[in-house]
């Protein structure tokens, strides 16, 4: 298996632009998580899905952030409009319900908003 796939690996954009981050979970996994990592706040859970349904989005910082999972093999995290304080590494992770204690992480997307 290729593992969790994220794209792009790096994104540089100007303030005010829309940013879309993409994630392909491991095939067969039914949980998908989006995290944000910064030096100041560490790793934060933004939102997670179970069977494509958002379960908890209480970590989403504000309405500028949105996430979707249209099918079991694809999810997006969108920021519109982006701000410099959104600069961070964004990770996607997936897990399988029958083995609930292990999450597999993607390589992350480093986002820089200038």
Partner 1 sequence: AQTVTQSQPEMSVQEAETVTLSCTYDTSESNYYLFWYKQPPSRQMILVIRQEAYKQQNATENRFSVNFQKAAKSFSLKISDSQLGDTAMYFCAFRSGYSTLTFGKGTMLLVSP
Closer CB to partner 1, residue 1 or residue 102?
A: 102
Q: What does each C-alpha distance from 70 to 22, 30, 88 come to in angstroms?
A: 12, 13, 25
Q: Which of 105, 82, 91, 62 is nearest to 14 (CA)?
A: 82
Q: Which of 112, 113, 103, 101 is nearest to 3 (CA)?
A: 103
Regarding 1 and contact with partner 1 (CB under 8 A), the answer is no
Regarding 5 and contact with partner 1 (CB under 8 A), the answer is no
Regarding 25 and contact with partner 1 (CB under 8 A), the answer is no
Return residues touching partner 1 (CB under 8 A). 33, 42-43, 45, 48, 56, 89, 91, 93, 97, 100-105, 107-108, 110
């Amino acid at each position: 298996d290729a593992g969790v796939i994220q794209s792009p690996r790096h994104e540089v954009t100007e303030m005010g632009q829309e940013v879309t981050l993409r994630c392909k979970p491991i095939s067969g996994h039914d949980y998908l998580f989006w995290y944000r990592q910064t030096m100041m706040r560490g790793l934060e859970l933004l939102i997670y899905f179970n069977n494509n349904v958002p379960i908890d989005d209480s970590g989403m910082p504000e309405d500028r952030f949105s996430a979707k999972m249209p099918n079991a093999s694809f999810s997006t995290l969108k920021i519109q409009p982006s701000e410099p304080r959104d600069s961070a590494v964004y990770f996607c992770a997936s897990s399988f319900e029958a083995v609930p204690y292990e999450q597999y992480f993607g390589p992350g997307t480093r986002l820089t908003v200038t």
